[in-house]
A and B are shown apart, each in its own frame.
Chain A
Amino acid sequence: MALALLRIATLVVKEFLAIMKDPKSRVVVIGPPIIQFFVFGYAATFDLNNVRYAVRDEDRSVESRELLSRFRGSPTFRLVGELSSDREVGDLIDRQGVRLVLHIPQTFSRDLHAGRPAQVQVIVDGRNSNVAAVALGYASGIIAQYNAERGGTLAAGAPNAARPTLQLVDRAWFNPNLQSRWFIVSALGGLIAMIVVLLLSSLSVSREREFGTFDQLLVAPFRSGEILLAKALPPMVCGLFDALLLAAAAVLWFGLPFRGSLPALVVALSVFIVSVVGVGLFISSLSSTMQQSLLGSFMFIMPSVILSGFTTPIQNMPQWLQWGTLINPLRYIVTACREVFLQGGTLATIWPQLWPMAVIAAATLASATWLFRHRTA
């Protein structure tokens, strides 16, 4: 027993040295976290700001100016110009000069005064459907606010007070300003852990195969379980380290809140990492070159990221695909991370995410062990 422990310790030390001294592996540990930190922190955003818009105000009344000033005051929108003809509107949107045009018809103030619904036409460029939908949402919000306040002042000003208004009070829990950075960066720990662990573990066996050291290892008096364990540990440590580092950076650099419990995050990440290491070792046992390992990892990473809810909601997928996501470990860690960061998740509340990952971990590890024995011994 003591001898077995000694052998495992020896192997683990060697694996660590191999990762730290192999430039390719070093890149894997350091590269993805940095790239992802910046790409996901800054480039991957669904938020809108500086939405260029133009105004075609045919009314030019006090009311229309009052409404337009609310748009001008919004940080989301940036006025580009005022248009004087419908042709200009079409032209400007066609050539992507603006993404949104507010068209206030001549009858606007007249309708308002007459107590008829006054129409404002909002034209958006639908080429980017998400920008269009979100921009429309913002515009509706501004106009609803205008209505509410106008109704309020009218109601206050009108003595007969027979004109009730609907007042919308909207609040967003967990992410009050609805920043997509909170959404993306909170789950980044899971993604980074997956990429680092998967790449390192998938390279671990094939690197030895390619350099010819694998036979040397198999001839030495190690059990295959010992080799596998030693191959699994260093990627797990690196992955957990990277994930926690990014979690810290998320709080310190991007100012995310951390409302849940740290143990919950660590436990969730650990269970997740075990399930990924199983996948990585499986890929590694299967491939004979580092190239194949990389491609294999890539083939796993792509779909699992897309089908995890990391960028877009799972509930938007067709039902059959939603069932498919149930075997994707990233799905659970993404949810768990967000819960811990933003919703104050604890070990108890993330339990629904924990146990499926544990089941997946058992399955992937078992198949990796089986394949490893099968391909080597």
Chain B
Amino acid sequence: MIQSADESVSERSGETVLGVRNLHKRFESKGGPPVEALRDVSLDVRCGEVVGLVGPDGAGKTTLLRIATGLLVPDSGTATVLGLDSVRDTLQIRGRIAYMPQKFGLYEDLTVQENLDLYADLQGVEPAARAPRYTRLLEMTGLEKFTGRLAGRLSGGMKQKLGLACALIKSPELLLLDEPTVGVDPVSRRELWRIVYQMVDQEGIGVLVATAYLDEAEKCHRVVVLHEGRKLDEGTPASFREQVHGHTFVVQPPPGVRPRTIQGRLAGRPGIIDATIRGGRVRVVTEERDIAAVTGAMPDNLAAAIDVAGPTFEDAFMKLLAHARSSQSHANLPAAQVSTGVSPHPREPEATIHRGESADGVVHTRDLTKRFGTFTAVSEISFDVHRGEIFGLLGPNGAGKSTTFRMLCGLSKVSAGEVRVAGRDLRRAGSFARQRLGYMAQQFSLYGQLSVFENLRFFGRAYGLANTRLAERIEWALDEFDLRGHRDMASGRLPGGYKQRLAMAAAILHEPDILFLDEPTSGVDPLARRDFWRRINSFAEGGVTVVVTTHFMEEAEYCDRMLIMSQGRELATGTPDEIRELARTEDHPDPTIEDAFIALAEGAARPRGKEGSP
């Protein structure tokens, strides 16, 4: 476990290692207004302190870190590093700080040891001092056994740890980390934070870390929230939590009712800032310090109990963001407040957990295996997905989710086992069988040069929509996804959240029966993610079968059932409750899906109810 932040503040703290004053930075963008990356931002990082830089995409986190390293020059304002000016004394600063950029700067065609040697040379580490340093870093990162392996062949988590080791090759006085844990599995994330805290405790360095994971912000001594280049707020995690004290509640669904149903009911309601599913219950953040907004929205029979919940940093963050957005123009309003859940199909009245049970589901796999040469990417995966169900494929990067997914969609050949979608093998069934499918790829995968309208028209026609029907559906999509204002814009130039909506619109334009979504929320800020899940819910309610992959463990709560994978193998399958049950212990009575994953990955929990599991 990570030590709590408050305990580790050492006596030596107080000396300012990074002082940022009134930073302004704008970037010219081609054919558009200049982007204000930073607007009057000031902050301090002191010795022995970990400061978190938190904000959605485009908040200005990376720009701020780059200015601190002297890689960018601010338009106005100053960044003072160790008493030196970041513009004037760039070279002196660089010998005393360490910076790990988002792409972590590893040479993939060099081995682990060669990467370490390179950075030791570049940082001027004395030859005599190297051996002990290497030993220590390799031990901390658990890379001792892999020194001869090419960096490109390491797993995502190991790459990140190696990147960190390279940054720490010479004890820096200030460590700057840019989203060090993106796409890293929960186990590796914990280890990374453990390494950072070890350095802080033992060497008293100052750390500024940009992150999009809100739970990581809780691990920092102080947090600075950025939004669209402005500093919204600053303080300790506790002070943030204090802001939403009394605003947070949990709703316990009665037996037989899915938490999703309640969450769908609450999200987007006036007076309610946020509604998420956590641990099988619905967490609500309200505008006012009052339970009335929640009770008002809930008919009595839907909630077994409504309790006051302990606030988290995430609650405070959502509240800050909601305020920041509502004070801006209408164009930037979160979609959650703009459109109400209109589903393409008439809503089915009752939502119960188990329905449409049949021997074979809509999606059916048995012992699905994929081998690339001698490497087995997916090994004997079996599951069924039923009609109207949201089924999640969970696991860290490199677990084999995407490979499994590609086999389901017929994009990749099956090495062994069987896979059927709507009763057919998509690879052999011919193009007609794909007619009833919707597919949304991991990255934005529409034609960037084509306008929003042209993309929709192309995909509509591709699936056989024509004439008035096509026109109707495009109109519907433009309204439903709030894309009308961007109808003729090249889709590659849309802001991130809109791209994602357009991709979704294109996938469901032809009203598919089965929707395949590959990492739909990766790289999307927390607000857009909530909005996205709200839509998925509404489609599922309408009878659409959804198969979705994600590496965000908390998103598993939105699924009816899920399969957790690691290293190509199935760790566990079940409903969120069943999965959490696996990690429930005396010390930990109320585990999250993430806790369950870590327990499963470390072998602490044994999946139950599975015959012949390895």
Interface residues of A (CB under 8 A from B): 3, 6-7, 10-11, 13-14, 17-18, 21-22, 211-213, 215-216, 218-223, 226, 377
Contact = CB atoms under 8 A, between A and B. Distances in A.
Interface in B448-465: 448-450, 454, 458-459, 461-464
Nearest to A376: B411
Given A212-B441, A213-B445, A14 B464 contact: no
Nearest to A212: B445
Range for the number of chain B residues in contact with chain A:
20 to 34
Contact of A215 (B411, B437, B444): B411
B411 A14 contact: no
A219 B464 contact: no
Given A17-B449, A17-B454, A220-B462, 17 more contacts: A11-B462, A14-B447, A17-B450, A18-B450, A21-B450, A22-B449, A211-B447, A211-B448, A216-B439, A218-B411, A219-B409, A219-B410, A221-B433, A221-B435, A221-B462, A222-B431, A223-B430
Interface string B408-441: 0111000000000000000100111111010101
Contacts of B431: 221-223, 226
Contacts of A216: 439, 441, 445-446, 459, 506
Contact of B462 (A211, A215, A222): A222
A223 B466 CA distance: 19
6 contacts: A14-B450, A17-B454, A212-B445, A215-B439, A219-B516, A221-B463
Contacts of B490: 21
Given A221-B431, A222-B431, A212 B442 contact: yes
B445 A221 contact: no
A21 B449 contact: yes
Nearest to B459: A220
Nearest to B432: A221
A11 B462 CA distance: 8
Interface string B154-179: 00000000000000000000000000
Interface in B479-523: 490, 506, 516
Contacts of A10: 458, 461-462
Contacts of B435: 221
Contacts of B441: 212, 215-216
B443 interface: yes
A18 to B, nearest CB: 6
Majority DSSP secondary structure for residues of A touching B: helix
A175 B287 CA distance: 88
A220 B431 CA distance: 7
A104 to B, nearest CB: 68
Interface string B277-309: 000000000000000000000000000000000
A225 B37 CA distance: 47
- Identify which of A3, A6, A21, A219 gathers the most chain B CB atoms within 10 Å of its CB: A219
B427 A377 contact: yes
A376 to B, nearest CB: 8
A216 B461 CA distance: 14
A13 B450 CA distance: 11
In the A-B complex, the 8 residue pairs with the smallest Cβ-Cβ separation, listed nearest first, are: A21-B449, A212-B445, A219-B439, A10-B461, A221-B431, A220-B462, A221-B434, A212-B443
A7 B406 CA distance: 24
Contacts of A22: 449
Contacts of B459: 216, 220
B458 A221 contact: no
Contacts of B410: 218-219
Nearest to B503: A216
Contacts of A7: 461-462, 464
Contact of A213 (B434, B446, B466): B446
A10 B463 CA distance: 10
A211 B430 CA distance: 25
Contacts of A6: 461, 464, 466
Contacts of A221: 431-435, 462-464
Contacts of B447: 14, 17-18, 211, 213
A21 B433 CA distance: 32
A213 to B, nearest CB: 5
A221 B429 CA distance: 11
B199 to A, nearest CB: 37
Q: Which of B409, B443, B447, B506 has the most CB of A within 10 A?
A: B447
Scoring A212, A215, A377 by chain B CB atoms within 10 A of each residue's CB, the highest score goes to A215
Contacts of A215: 406, 409, 411, 439, 441, 445
Contacts of A219: 409-411, 434, 437, 439, 516
B461 A212 contact: no
Contacts of A226: 431
Contacts of A13: 458
Contacts of B446: 213, 216
Nearest to A13: B458
Nearest to B516: A219
A21 B463 CA distance: 23
A212 B454 CA distance: 18
A226 B463 CA distance: 14
Contacts of B406: 215
A13 B462 CA distance: 12
A356 B506 CA distance: 45
Contacts of A213: 445-447
B462 to A, nearest CB: 4
A234 to B, nearest CB: 14
Given A10-B458, A220-B459, A220-B462, A18 B430 contact: no
A223 B446 CA distance: 19
B172 to A, nearest CB: 36
Contacts of A14: 447, 450, 454, 458
Nearest to B428: A377
Contacts of B432: 221
A228 B316 CA distance: 53
Contacts of A220: 434, 439, 459, 462-463
A359 B308 CA distance: 79
A154 to B, nearest CB: 77
A128 to B, nearest CB: 44
A218 B461 CA distance: 14
Nearest to A7: B462
Contacts of A218: 410-411
A286 to B, nearest CB: 18
A377 B454 CA distance: 27
Contacts of A18: 447, 449-450
Contacts of B449: 17-18, 21-22
Q: Which of B409, B445, B454, B463 has the most CB of A within 10 A?
A: B445
Q: Residue among B444, B459, B461 with the most chain A CB within 10 A?
A: B461
Given A211-B445, A219-B410, A221-B434, A3 B450 contact: no
A285 B301 CA distance: 59
B578 to A, nearest CB: 31
Contacts of A3: 464
A32 B427 CA distance: 40
A22 B427 CA distance: 31
B4 to A, nearest CB: 42
B440 to A, nearest CB: 8
A218 B447 CA distance: 14
B366 to A, nearest CB: 22
Contacts of B443: 212
A14 B406 CA distance: 24
A222 B430 CA distance: 9
Contacts of B458: 10, 13-14
Contacts of B506: 216
A199 to B, nearest CB: 17
Contacts of A222: 431, 462
A226 B164 CA distance: 49
A274 to B, nearest CB: 25
B444 A212 contact: yes
B398 to A, nearest CB: 18
Nearest to A218: B411
Nearest to B518: A215
